[in-house]
Structure 1
Amino acid sequence: MNIFQTVFAKAANQWPDNIALCVEQKQFTYQTLLQLSLNWASQINDYNPAQAPIAIYGGKQWHMYAGILAILATKASYVPLSNEQPVNRTNSILAQLNCQVLLVAEGEDIDELLQQQQNKLTVIYLGADKPNWLSKLSLHTIITLDSEKKLSPRKQQSLQSNKDNRYAYIMFTSGSTGTPKGIAVSKKNLICHLKRLDEILDIKPYDRVSQFFALNFDLSVHDMFSCWQKGAALYVLPKQYTMYPNQFIKHNEITVFSAVASVLSFIDKLGKLTPNELPSLRLSCFGGEKLLTAQAAKWQACAPNSKVINLYGPTECTITASYYDFSAAALMPSSASVPIGKPLPGLITRLLKDDKLVNEKHTLAELYIAGDQVVDGYWQDTAKTAQAFVYLEDNIRYYRTGDIVYLNDNNELVFHGRSDFQFSINGYRVEAGEIESAILSFADVITWCTVKALNDPQTQQQQIIAFIEASKALDTEQLKQFCQTRLPHYMLPDSFILTEKLPRNINGKVDIKALSLELNNSATLTKEDYHACISNRT
């Protein structure tokens, strides 16, 4: 199954002159982007005879989008690497992949990354400029592409004869051991998702679709391919508009907008969710975290012509597994957050508590999901795969989400929280263990660290609190700077709480339940209050 041909090339043949991509002031028609990606693909193809996954590094430059299409045109799978990730994390991902080919977008400096990378890479630079690192001697092979080179019939035949790789993309999420874990999404998974979402979203060739999410976040795949399969125009949101996109929406007359729900909290805090401000929008999708009911209602008034849809889905279930049409609801949801609704047609959900099926309403239970969007498992990690993907009594394979939900009076799913130590920050799934591993590596005097997420009662946004047990005093400013070199920005703790002794249970282990209770009872405390509260235990 060829995603490039099935989705993008098919649309380019049907709507060749439609705008396919708009990044800053640069625009590409479907025909132009098709020819460019095929040209690049024919050159990239020479360096990846094994059809191994190809990594692509950058931000939101147009080269990233053309590069992703080019990788898919070779029938390989793409692995997006963010330029905002620490070098150590990026190299960890490359090592797990045993990566052979790395594409790099224009304007990126990967000198430090190459110096630390032990495996020999073929680095293909997609820019027209000549950064200094291109000319440095290293164990890696450095290649630049010729964007003007014509695609020969022989090269085109070579692309068509490639064996089709099973996977479309591999996303790396936070891992409990401190090592990111890869989730390989097959081309069949993605095609099934796109078909189902199209029936709900009904994007048109005349639509202008925002591209909000970072490319290493799986909702970016939703942005790109839900748009491109229908011949619509993808407008990439510049970084400066991420938390306040209103001006971008109005200036570009965006008709379809997607974002994480916390964006609404920020806009609301600015007092900018004003009625009738965004009349161009006809569809708004929110995902990645809880969508608060009050803020959804304000957004509906702000974008009066827009359908408002709440999307839910783990990466392991290919982007979206359930949805709730807020605009179509006869009554305002009674829950503080908008329901995540009902599963997409063809997917199966089960609620389990203590290994027993739960059908009763308003009963908290863990959500399990089955269907053709559920991935094979974690990249080269059979142990984690066996833990997360299980067979239930109906002999159907389910993904165990770790999300605690309940059924409301309308038999709609409502998200409650996480069952483990994962949590969601600005739509990114975060594993507490990865943050803890980084903090523990800072100094030997740190004897224990546990990380929890706490809702700010005013903004309803989650804050990351790191509780640190240390035998000596620590410089928290130095610790913060250290974490910045080890963790992505969205994983950086908002507060470091230092104490000589964390609460422990009868077995001598840190008492997570007691700590959680302390957090729940201390929702309005300041950092100093936390410190005093925990220190009183010594």
Structure 2
Amino acid sequence: MSEEYGGALHARFLSGLALAPERVAARGPGWELTYRQLHERALTWAGALLRAADGDGRGGPGAVAVLADKGPDAYTGVLAGLCAGMTVVPMSTGFPASRIRQMLDAAEVSAVVADAAGRALLAEAVEPGGRTPPVLTAGDGTLRAGAAHALTAPRPVRPEDTAYILFTSGSTGRPKGVRVTHGATDHYFQVLGTRYPFTPDDVFSQTFDLNFDCSLFDLFCAWGAGAAIQQIPAAAYRDLPAFAASAGLTVWFSTPSAVALARRTGGLGEGALSGLRWSFFAGEALTCRDAGDWHRAAPHSHVENLYGPTELTVTVTGHRWSPQDRDAGGLVPIGTVHKGHDWLLLGEDGEPTPDEGELVVTGPQMTPGYLDPADEEGRFLEHDGRRWYRTGDRVRRIRGEVLAYVDRLDAQVQVQGWRVEPAEIDQRLREVTGVQDAVTVAVPAPDGQNVLVAFYTGERLSPSLLVRGLRDHLPERMIPRRFQHVPEFPLNPNRKTDRKALRATAAGLLGTTTA
């Protein structure tokens, strides 16, 4: 493969740099960086990261963790890691220290880009006597980003090289790392490039945390077109129409939860978001009601429902909503699978079925695997001489190649766009003194979003004690909203825990209903 591989993920930023060098590449409250400024900053930081990696003793450029809130340091860190030919491992400063430590070790991180919050968390995450990776910040990091060591150009990479490692919730009780290659992102953004004619005049929302795979869509669709990324602060939702107008937003992307939030704050009035050209939703099921309400507020916008697990590189299907979408059970269809991929629906017997079953996909966006091969059990299958990814989602063919989401085949759920394995929560609950066993289920709240409810046996404990025990290990979004002590779990006819009965009980506790 030529060293001039044009499909490298950072090559999309170079395209934007060529189109609009003096335009804003990224901005947020009180700061902004032009393409030229971000490029120069990233090449300087890339040189410092490579010097750290050379001294790490592991060989190769290694991996760089980006442990920073959305802002100039985080965006520079992502781009610097890619320019250095390193694997970028985005992390959230909202994670507990123990989870950060697990991810640093699993990804064998050579260096860390951190802001002030990230530095404080890193100090807590590293165990006494443990190895502290070199840290780079805009201020007083242990790495010095001097111009003398700046790269003159990004380092070459190959399609099979890992661009990103994204950690998801794991059923084993620990986060699992998904490898995303430059070749996979290259195919992904080529597909998007033919579907969406973005321009340097566009301004993209950035609602997702950088450790959420949908953030790649925002960053590299914008940067590939020479457009701007606009960080969306929490306060913006108090009056989303006013914020969108003042920022000049033309492209919106979020989980469907944002629709309910905008509705509650009065932001979905007719024509309230008239500046939007494109509106994308992913991470949760999008209802036809939410799509219709959003479109009334953004009448000049195409509303699209995107779907895809991290293992298939951000999203692997798409569907453009229309008022005629009434044949998917109240949900907007997930649409058609991206070109270049093959897909099958598997029945309960594991054999292909024509109309409804588990969606399995193979093609150029599929991950080469997890950091720990043990995590691959049950997630991939061999069929027709090829490897396929099992999504665990039951889908239905509704017309032609158009697919609609039905439900999950396992206990995995989506909570505010996060993929959550309840088994990970259960394992951490069992570690709380006094808890004998635990089962966590998800039920829809009145706004349609999933809420976690945990049932446990053993001693009756205060919710605050249980929450404290979980916060040492789990992100805030994975902590159940309700805890219910039970003397024992209900059993189904097969003598297994009856999760359906628990979901019905949870719905009663929350005053909702289950399907």
TM-score (norm 2): 0.91
How far apart are 1:123 and its partner, in Å? 2.4
Instruction: Indicate yes or no: 2:443 matched with 1:447.
Output: no
How far apart are 1:72 and its partner, in Å? 0.5
How far apart are 1:300 and its partner, in Å? 0.5
The equivalent position to 1:9 in structure 2, one of 14, 25, 34, is: 14
How far apart are 1:84 and its partner, in Å? 0.2
Residues 290, 164 of structure 1: alpha-carbon distance in 2 compared, 3 angstrom cutoff: closer
In structure 2, C-alpha distance between the alignment counterparts of 1:256 and 1:104, rounded to whole Å: 28
In structure 1, C-alpha distance between the alignment counterparts of 2:344 and 2:129, rounded to whole Å: 45
How far apart are 1:3 and its partner, in Å? 2.6
Query: What residue number does 2:152 align with?
Result: 156
Deviations 1:275-307 (CA, angstroms, capped at 9, x unpaired): 100110000000011001011001001000000
Query: What residue number does 1:352 align with?
Result: 346
In structure 2, C-alpha distance between the alignment counterparts of 1:145 and 1:3, rounded to whole Å: 24
How far apart are 1:124 and its partner, in Å? 2.0
In structure 2, C-alpha distance between the alignment counterparts of 1:324 and 1:385, rounded to whole Å: 29
- Indicate conservation of the 8 Å contact 1:421/1:431, yes or no: yes
How far apart are 1:411 and its partner, in Å? 4.4
In structure 1, C-alpha distance between the alignment counterparts of 2:415 and 2:511, rounded to whole Å: 23
How far apart are 1:127 and its partner, in Å? 2.6
The equivalent position to 2:508 in structure 1, one of 507, 521, 525, is: 525
In structure 1, C-alpha distance between the alignment counterparts of 2:292 and 2:492, rounded to whole Å: 44
How far apart are 1:323 and its partner, in Å? 0.4
Instruction: Indicate yes or no: 2:378 matched with 1:387.
Output: yes
* Equivalent position amino acid for 1:76 in 2: M
Which aligned pairs between 1:71-86 and structure 2 lie closer than 5 A?
A: 71-86=81-96
Instruction: Indicate yes or no: 2:381 matched with 1:376.
Output: no
How far apart are 1:434 and its partner, in Å? 1.0
Which aligned pairs between 1:22-61 and structure 2 lie closer than 5 A?
A: 22-49=27-54, 50-61=60-71
Instruction: Indicate yes or no: 2:78 matched with 1:68.
Output: yes
In structure 1, C-alpha distance between the alignment counterparts of 2:512 and 2:164, rounded to whole Å: 45
* Equivalent position amino acid for 1:116 in 2: E
Which aligned pairs between 1:57-206 and structure 2 lie closer than 5 A?
A: 57-108=67-118, 109-110=120-121, 112-116=123-127, 119-128=130-139, 130=140, 142-146=142-146, 149=147, 155-156=151-152, 160=155, 166-206=161-201
How far apart are 1:482 and its partner, in Å? 2.1
- Indicate conservation of the 8 Å contact 1:61/1:105, yes or no: no
The equivalent position to 1:490 in structure 2, one of 462, 469, 477, is: 477
* Equivalent position amino acid for 1:27 in 2: E
- Indicate conservation of the 8 Å contact 1:340/1:413, yes or no: yes
Query: What residue number does 1:499 align with?
Result: 486
In structure 1, C-alpha distance between the alignment counterparts of 2:512 and 2:404, rounded to whole Å: 33
Deviations 1:449-501 (CA, angstroms, capped at 9, x unpaired): 01110112x2111110101011x221222112222222101101011010121
SS at match of 1:143: coil
* Equivalent position amino acid for 2:420 in 1: V
In structure 2, C-alpha distance between the alignment counterparts of 1:161 and 1:403, rounded to whole Å: 37
Instruction: Indicate yes or no: 2:422 matched with 1:412.
Output: no
SS at match of 2:49: helix
* Equivalent position amino acid for 2:448 in 1: Q
Deviations 1:373-394 (CA, angstroms, capped at 9, x unpaired): 0010111x223224212122x3
How far apart are 1:518 and its partner, in Å? 4.5
Instruction: Indicate yes or no: 2:335 matched with 1:341.
Output: yes
**Structure 2: where are the runs of 5+ without partners?**
55-59
In structure 2, C-alpha distance between the alignment counterparts of 1:70 and 1:107, rounded to whole Å: 20
In structure 2, C-alpha distance between the alignment counterparts of 1:10 and 1:342, rounded to whole Å: 28
* Equivalent position amino acid for 1:156 in 2: T
In structure 1, C-alpha distance between the alignment counterparts of 2:148 and 2:67, rounded to whole Å: 25
Percentage identity across paired residues of the two chains: 27
Query: What residue number does 2:456 align with?
Result: 468
How far apart are 1:167 and its partner, in Å? 0.7
Instruction: Indicate yes or no: 2:453 matched with 1:459.
Output: no
In structure 2, C-alpha distance between the alignment counterparts of 1:222 and 1:275, rounded to whole Å: 28
Deviations 1:421-448 (CA, angstroms, capped at 9, x unpaired): 11000101001111111111111x3221
Query: What residue number does 1:478 align with?
Result: 465
Aligned length in residues: 501
TM-score (norm 1): 0.87
- Indicate conservation of the 8 Å contact 1:293/1:335, yes or no: no
Residues 54, 401 of structure 1: alpha-carbon distance in 2 compared, 3 angstrom cutoff: same
Query: What residue number does 1:367 align with?
Result: 359
Residues 242, 198 of structure 1: alpha-carbon distance in 2 compared, 3 angstrom cutoff: farther
Residues 46, 163 of structure 1: alpha-carbon distance in 2 compared, 3 angstrom cutoff: farther
How far apart are 1:245 and its partner, in Å? 3.9
- Indicate conservation of the 8 Å contact 1:264/1:299, yes or no: yes
* Equivalent position amino acid for 1:60 in 2: K
* Equivalent position amino acid for 1:418 in 2: R
> Deviating runs (4+, > 6 A) in structure 1?
161-165
Query: What residue number does 2:57 align with?
Result: none
**Structure 1: where are the runs of 5+ without partners?**
135-141, 531-538
Which aligned pairs between 1:241-256 and structure 2 lie closer than 5 A?
A: 241=236, 245-256=240-251
